[in-house]
Amino acid sequence: MKKSVLFFAALVCMMMHSVSSFAGDRIIPAEQLPAAAKTFIQKTFPGQTVSYATIDFDGRNTYEVCLSNGVEVDFNKNGVWDKVDCNYSAVPASLVPTNIANYVKTHFAGAKVVKIDKERHGYDVELSNDLELKFNKQGQLMNIDD
């Protein structure tokens, strides 16, 4: 009995934490995105419209945007992209640093970058063959996760 009460209490705490972690997200009109984010979307994904945009009041005021073609883009508070997830399509070549693009082309012929994420250490890249590659800021491969 004591174990089930403890389990139930832990479950309630986890659910409350989950709900509170989403409390900071708010849907906003595309017009409220920073100018840099709107310009990025227009230049990088011409012809696409914003399906929805959210702002996360997590102290960093980050934005998440989903485009009409299903591409998801995360922006920092200044409107600079942090992550681009094209799902099954290739990330625009202009977003992939040259060293990383060359490495992928040389070592994974036929694979395309479908997701790129700027991280503190460098870049996390997901390929169409489901491999995840981690590169440092200089574009040198640091780790492969399959």
| pTM assigned to the model | 0.82
Tens digits of residue pLDDT in 36-90: 999 999 999 999 999 999 999 877 889 999 999 999 999 999 999 999 999 999 9
Tens digits of residue pLDDT in 110-124: 999 999 999 999 999
Which two three-digit tokens encode residue 66?
A: 């989903």
Q: Where are the alpha helices (DSSP H) in 23-72?
A: 35-44
